[in-house]
A and B are shown apart, each in its own frame.
Chain A
Amino acid sequence: MGEGGGVAGGCGNNFSEDMAVELGDEPHVLAVDDNLIDRKLVEKLLKNSSCKVTTAESASRALDYLGLGNETLKGTVSKVNLIITDYCMPGMTGYELLKKIKESSLLKEVPVVIMSSENIPTRISQCLEEGAKMFMLKPLKQSDVMQLKWRLIKCKD
Protein backbone atom coordinates (compact mmCIF):
# COMPACT_ATOMS: atom_id res chain seq x y z
CA MET A 1 0.00 0.00 0.00
CA GLY A 2 1.82 3.09 -1.23
CA GLU A 3 0.03 5.90 0.54
CA GLY A 4 -0.58 4.56 4.00
CA GLY A 5 -3.99 4.44 5.63
CA GLY A 6 -5.74 1.17 6.25
CA VAL A 7 -7.47 -0.80 8.94
CA ALA A 8 -6.89 -4.02 10.80
CA GLY A 9 -9.48 -5.39 13.18
CA GLY A 10 -9.92 -8.28 15.51
CA CYS A 11 -13.62 -8.92 14.98
CA GLY A 12 -14.36 -12.57 14.76
CA ASN A 13 -11.11 -13.83 16.27
CA ASN A 14 -11.10 -13.77 20.05
CA PHE A 15 -14.26 -11.87 20.80
CA SER A 16 -17.59 -13.12 22.12
CA GLU A 17 -20.94 -12.71 20.41
CA ASP A 18 -21.88 -9.84 22.67
CA MET A 19 -19.42 -7.47 21.08
CA ALA A 20 -22.02 -5.75 18.93
CA VAL A 21 -21.85 -2.13 19.83
CA GLU A 22 -24.89 0.08 19.73
CA LEU A 23 -23.42 3.37 18.63
CA GLY A 24 -26.75 5.11 18.24
CA ASP A 25 -27.49 8.02 15.95
CA GLU A 26 -24.80 10.36 17.14
CA PRO A 27 -22.07 8.49 18.97
CA HIS A 28 -19.88 10.48 21.30
CA VAL A 29 -16.26 9.86 20.44
CA LEU A 30 -13.22 10.82 22.49
CA ALA A 31 -10.24 11.37 20.16
CA VAL A 32 -6.81 11.43 21.75
CA ASP A 33 -3.74 12.69 19.90
CA ASP A 34 -0.81 14.89 20.89
CA ASN A 35 -0.51 16.28 17.35
CA LEU A 36 -2.72 19.32 16.81
CA ILE A 37 -3.15 18.84 13.06
CA ASP A 38 -4.09 15.19 13.52
CA ARG A 39 -6.61 16.15 16.21
CA LYS A 40 -8.25 18.62 13.81
CA LEU A 41 -8.33 16.02 11.06
CA VAL A 42 -9.80 13.20 13.12
CA GLU A 43 -12.33 15.58 14.63
CA LYS A 44 -13.55 16.68 11.21
CA LEU A 45 -13.60 13.14 9.86
CA LEU A 46 -15.73 12.02 12.80
CA LYS A 47 -18.03 15.05 12.71
CA ASN A 48 -18.60 14.45 9.00
CA SER A 49 -19.73 10.96 10.02
CA SER A 50 -22.31 12.36 12.43
CA CYS A 51 -20.33 11.84 15.59
CA LYS A 52 -20.15 14.15 18.54
CA VAL A 53 -16.44 14.65 19.21
CA THR A 54 -14.36 15.56 22.22
CA THR A 55 -10.60 15.77 21.74
CA ALA A 56 -7.80 15.32 24.25
CA GLU A 57 -4.14 16.14 23.70
CA SER A 58 -2.75 13.44 25.97
CA ALA A 59 -3.63 10.13 27.57
CA SER A 60 -3.69 11.70 31.02
CA ARG A 61 -6.14 14.40 29.87
CA ALA A 62 -8.23 11.62 28.34
CA LEU A 63 -8.25 9.72 31.63
CA ASP A 64 -9.32 12.86 33.48
CA TYR A 65 -12.18 13.28 31.03
CA LEU A 66 -13.18 9.65 31.37
CA GLY A 67 -13.23 9.80 35.15
CA LEU A 68 -10.12 7.72 35.73
CA GLY A 69 -7.60 10.46 36.20
CA ASN A 70 -6.05 12.23 39.15
CA GLU A 71 -7.63 15.51 38.19
CA THR A 72 -11.17 14.29 37.62
CA LEU A 73 -13.76 16.53 39.22
CA LYS A 74 -16.77 14.78 40.64
CA GLY A 75 -19.85 15.13 38.50
CA THR A 76 -18.05 15.98 35.28
CA VAL A 77 -17.54 12.46 33.96
CA SER A 78 -18.95 12.16 30.46
CA LYS A 79 -20.24 9.11 28.71
CA VAL A 80 -18.40 8.20 25.53
CA ASN A 81 -19.33 5.49 23.03
CA LEU A 82 -15.90 5.15 21.45
CA ILE A 83 -12.33 6.13 22.18
CA ILE A 84 -9.88 6.59 19.34
CA THR A 85 -6.30 7.20 20.31
CA ASP A 86 -2.90 7.69 18.76
CA TYR A 87 -0.31 5.11 19.74
CA CYS A 88 2.83 7.27 19.99
CA MET A 89 2.32 9.99 22.55
CA PRO A 90 4.74 11.48 25.06
CA GLY A 91 4.12 10.46 28.67
CA MET A 92 1.53 7.72 28.49
CA THR A 93 1.22 5.95 25.15
CA GLY A 94 -2.04 4.97 23.48
CA TYR A 95 -1.28 1.37 24.38
CA GLU A 96 -0.96 2.24 28.06
CA LEU A 97 -4.18 4.22 27.85
CA LEU A 98 -5.87 1.20 26.28
CA LYS A 99 -4.71 -0.99 29.17
CA LYS A 100 -5.98 1.46 31.77
CA ILE A 101 -9.37 1.58 30.07
CA LYS A 102 -9.62 -2.19 29.85
CA GLU A 103 -8.66 -2.53 33.51
CA SER A 104 -11.44 -0.20 34.56
CA SER A 105 -14.77 -1.73 35.51
CA LEU A 106 -16.33 1.59 34.58
CA LEU A 107 -14.94 1.75 31.07
CA LYS A 108 -13.82 -1.66 29.87
CA GLU A 109 -16.86 -2.08 27.60
CA VAL A 110 -16.08 1.11 25.67
CA PRO A 111 -14.51 0.19 22.32
CA VAL A 112 -11.02 1.56 21.82
CA VAL A 113 -9.40 2.11 18.43
CA ILE A 114 -5.67 2.73 18.07
CA MET A 115 -4.14 4.85 15.30
CA SER A 116 -0.52 4.94 14.27
CA SER A 117 1.59 6.29 11.46
CA GLU A 118 3.80 3.21 11.71
CA ASN A 119 2.77 -0.15 10.32
CA ILE A 120 4.41 -2.50 12.81
CA PRO A 121 2.73 -5.93 12.92
CA THR A 122 3.83 -6.69 16.50
CA ARG A 123 2.43 -3.34 17.61
CA ILE A 124 -0.86 -4.07 15.89
CA SER A 125 -1.26 -7.54 17.40
CA GLN A 126 -0.19 -6.25 20.80
CA CYS A 127 -3.01 -3.69 20.72
CA LEU A 128 -5.61 -6.11 19.44
CA GLU A 129 -4.63 -8.64 22.09
CA GLU A 130 -5.01 -6.01 24.77
CA GLY A 131 -8.57 -5.44 23.60
CA ALA A 132 -8.42 -2.71 20.95
CA LYS A 133 -11.30 -3.09 18.51
CA MET A 134 -9.33 -1.86 15.54
CA PHE A 135 -5.98 -0.53 14.51
CA MET A 136 -5.86 2.22 11.88
CA LEU A 137 -2.94 3.56 9.92
CA LYS A 138 -2.44 7.29 9.65
CA PRO A 139 -3.04 9.50 7.84
CA LEU A 140 -6.73 8.80 8.28
CA LYS A 141 -9.10 8.97 5.36
CA GLN A 142 -12.86 9.19 5.09
CA SER A 143 -13.06 5.55 4.03
CA ASP A 144 -11.27 4.54 7.26
CA VAL A 145 -13.84 6.30 9.42
CA MET A 146 -16.71 4.86 7.41
CA GLN A 147 -15.28 1.39 7.79
CA LEU A 148 -14.77 2.01 11.50
CA LYS A 149 -18.41 2.93 12.01
CA TRP A 150 -19.62 0.02 9.94
CA ARG A 151 -17.46 -2.50 11.74
CA LEU A 152 -18.30 -1.30 15.21
CA ILE A 153 -22.01 -1.40 14.49
CA LYS A 154 -21.99 -4.63 12.53
CA CYS A 155 -19.42 -6.67 14.43
CA LYS A 156 -21.42 -9.60 15.70
CA ASP A 157 -19.43 -12.74 14.92
Chain B
Amino acid sequence: MEVVQIQRNLVDYTKSLFMEGFLDGQFLQLQQLQDESNPDFVAEVVSLFFDDSQKLLNELTIALDQPIVDFKKVDAHVHQLKGSSSSIGAQKVKNACIAFRNFCEVQNIEGCLTCLQQVKLEYYLAKNKFETLFRLEQQIVASGGSIPMIEMGF
Protein backbone atom coordinates (compact mmCIF):
# COMPACT_ATOMS: atom_id res chain seq x y z
CA MET B 1 0.00 0.00 0.00
CA GLU B 2 1.30 3.45 -0.82
CA VAL B 3 2.34 5.77 1.96
CA VAL B 4 -0.21 8.36 0.86
CA GLN B 5 -2.99 5.83 1.29
CA ILE B 6 -1.84 4.85 4.79
CA GLN B 7 -1.58 8.53 5.71
CA ARG B 8 -5.15 9.02 4.52
CA ASN B 9 -6.25 5.99 6.53
CA LEU B 10 -4.56 7.41 9.62
CA VAL B 11 -6.24 10.79 9.25
CA ASP B 12 -9.65 9.20 8.71
CA TYR B 13 -9.16 6.82 11.60
CA THR B 14 -8.06 9.55 13.98
CA LYS B 15 -10.99 11.75 12.95
CA SER B 16 -13.40 8.89 13.56
CA LEU B 17 -12.01 8.44 17.07
CA PHE B 18 -12.82 12.08 17.80
CA MET B 19 -16.24 11.86 16.19
CA GLU B 20 -17.12 8.75 18.17
CA GLY B 21 -15.98 10.35 21.41
CA PHE B 22 -13.07 8.03 22.14
CA LEU B 23 -10.68 10.98 22.03
CA ASP B 24 -11.11 14.60 23.00
CA GLY B 25 -9.08 17.77 22.48
CA GLN B 26 -6.56 16.83 25.14
CA PHE B 27 -5.15 14.17 22.79
CA LEU B 28 -4.37 16.93 20.30
CA GLN B 29 -2.49 18.73 23.07
CA LEU B 30 -0.33 15.63 23.51
CA GLN B 31 0.34 15.42 19.78
CA GLN B 32 1.33 19.07 19.69
CA LEU B 33 3.88 18.46 22.43
CA GLN B 34 5.64 15.84 20.32
CA ASP B 35 8.63 17.14 18.37
CA GLU B 36 11.95 16.02 16.85
CA SER B 37 13.63 16.04 20.25
CA ASN B 38 10.95 13.69 21.56
CA PRO B 39 9.35 11.93 18.56
CA ASP B 40 7.78 9.15 20.62
CA PHE B 41 6.28 11.30 23.33
CA VAL B 42 2.66 10.39 22.63
CA ALA B 43 3.35 6.67 22.36
CA GLU B 44 5.38 6.79 25.59
CA VAL B 45 2.73 8.57 27.57
CA VAL B 46 -0.04 6.35 26.25
CA SER B 47 2.06 3.29 27.06
CA LEU B 48 2.49 4.57 30.63
CA PHE B 49 -1.25 5.04 30.75
CA PHE B 50 -1.79 1.40 29.73
CA ASP B 51 0.54 0.08 32.45
CA ASP B 52 -0.78 2.41 35.11
CA SER B 53 -4.42 1.72 34.24
CA GLN B 54 -3.96 -2.02 34.23
CA LYS B 55 -2.59 -1.81 37.77
CA LEU B 56 -5.44 0.41 38.89
CA LEU B 57 -8.06 -1.89 37.37
CA ASN B 58 -6.49 -4.85 39.18
CA GLU B 59 -6.50 -2.90 42.46
CA LEU B 60 -10.13 -1.95 41.91
CA THR B 61 -11.16 -5.53 41.26
CA ILE B 62 -9.50 -6.63 44.48
CA ALA B 63 -10.87 -3.71 46.50
CA LEU B 64 -14.45 -4.34 45.39
CA ASP B 65 -14.10 -8.03 46.12
CA GLN B 66 -13.47 -7.49 49.82
CA PRO B 67 -16.12 -8.54 52.36
CA ILE B 68 -16.12 -4.97 53.63
CA VAL B 69 -15.45 -2.53 50.82
CA ASP B 70 -13.26 0.49 51.55
CA PHE B 71 -15.01 3.03 49.36
CA LYS B 72 -12.43 5.70 50.06
CA LYS B 73 -9.75 3.46 48.67
CA VAL B 74 -11.88 2.57 45.66
CA ASP B 75 -12.59 6.25 45.03
CA ALA B 76 -8.91 7.11 45.28
CA HIS B 77 -8.06 4.57 42.58
CA VAL B 78 -10.88 5.77 40.32
CA HIS B 79 -9.74 9.36 40.87
CA GLN B 80 -6.27 8.37 39.62
CA LEU B 81 -7.69 6.62 36.58
CA LYS B 82 -9.96 9.54 35.83
CA GLY B 83 -7.00 11.89 36.04
CA SER B 84 -4.77 9.88 33.73
CA SER B 85 -7.44 9.23 31.15
CA SER B 86 -8.39 12.90 31.19
CA SER B 87 -4.77 13.94 30.71
CA ILE B 88 -4.33 11.86 27.58
CA GLY B 89 -7.74 12.62 26.10
CA ALA B 90 -9.29 9.17 26.56
CA GLN B 91 -12.74 10.67 26.92
CA LYS B 92 -14.92 7.55 27.25
CA VAL B 93 -12.67 6.12 29.93
CA LYS B 94 -12.77 9.43 31.77
CA ASN B 95 -16.56 9.61 31.61
CA ALA B 96 -16.91 6.05 32.85
CA CYS B 97 -14.72 7.03 35.83
CA ILE B 98 -16.91 10.01 36.60
CA ALA B 99 -19.97 7.77 36.80
CA PHE B 100 -18.00 5.34 38.94
CA ARG B 101 -17.05 8.03 41.46
CA ASN B 102 -20.70 8.97 41.90
CA PHE B 103 -21.45 5.42 43.08
CA CYS B 104 -18.42 5.47 45.38
CA GLU B 105 -19.70 8.62 46.98
CA VAL B 106 -23.03 7.01 47.90
CA GLN B 107 -21.30 3.72 48.73
CA ASN B 108 -23.42 1.74 46.32
CA ILE B 109 -21.59 -1.56 45.81
CA GLU B 110 -23.74 -2.82 42.92
CA GLY B 111 -23.35 0.46 41.11
CA CYS B 112 -19.61 0.32 41.65
CA LEU B 113 -19.35 -3.20 40.29
CA THR B 114 -21.31 -2.26 37.19
CA CYS B 115 -19.14 0.81 36.72
CA LEU B 116 -15.98 -1.22 37.09
CA GLN B 117 -17.13 -3.44 34.24
CA GLN B 118 -17.93 -0.38 32.18
CA VAL B 119 -14.55 1.23 32.87
CA LYS B 120 -12.78 -2.00 31.97
CA LEU B 121 -14.71 -2.21 28.73
CA GLU B 122 -13.95 1.40 27.81
CA TYR B 123 -10.32 0.91 28.75
CA TYR B 124 -9.88 -2.15 26.52
CA LEU B 125 -11.65 -0.42 23.65
CA ALA B 126 -9.43 2.64 24.04
CA LYS B 127 -6.32 0.48 24.23
CA ASN B 128 -7.34 -1.24 21.03
CA LYS B 129 -7.95 2.06 19.26
CA PHE B 130 -4.62 3.52 20.36
CA GLU B 131 -2.77 0.40 19.27
CA THR B 132 -4.33 0.63 15.83
CA LEU B 133 -3.42 4.29 15.65
CA PHE B 134 0.21 3.67 16.55
CA ARG B 135 0.42 0.75 14.14
CA LEU B 136 -0.68 3.00 11.29
CA GLU B 137 1.89 5.60 12.34
CA GLN B 138 4.63 2.98 12.43
CA GLN B 139 3.68 1.81 8.94
CA ILE B 140 3.96 5.34 7.64
CA VAL B 141 7.33 5.95 9.26
CA ALA B 142 8.63 2.57 8.06
CA SER B 143 7.67 3.53 4.53
CA GLY B 144 9.63 6.76 4.82
CA GLY B 145 6.59 8.98 5.21
CA SER B 146 5.76 11.57 7.84
CA ILE B 147 2.85 11.54 10.29
CA PRO B 148 0.16 13.93 9.06
CA MET B 149 -1.11 16.49 11.57
CA ILE B 150 -4.84 16.41 12.12
CA GLU B 151 -6.69 19.68 11.70
CA MET B 152 -9.71 19.72 13.94
CA GLY B 153 -12.11 22.56 14.42
CA PHE B 154 -12.01 22.77 18.21
Contact = CB atoms under 8 A, between A and B. Distances in A.
Interface stretch (A10-18, A41-49, A65-73, A121-129): A41-49
B29 A35 contact: no
A45 B33 contact: yes
Contacts of A38: 83-84, 87
Main secondary structure of the interface of A (DSSP, over half): loop
Main secondary structure of the interface of B (DSSP, over half): helix
Interface stretch (B10-18, B40-48, B62-70, B138-146): B40-48
Contacts of A6: none
Interface residues of B, number: 25
Nearest to B82: A117
Interface in A19-70: 34-38, 40-41, 44-45, 48
B33 A35 contact: no
Interface of A: 3-5, 34-38, 40-41, 44-45, 48, 88, 90, 117, 138-142
Given A44-B33, A48-B33, A141-B29, A117 B48 contact: no
Contacts, number: 56
Contacts of B83: 35, 37-38, 117, 138
A5 B82 CA distance: 15
A141 B88 CA distance: 11
B131 to A, nearest CB: 17
Contact of A4 (B33, B44, B86): B86
A49 B132 CA distance: 31
A123 B82 CA distance: 19
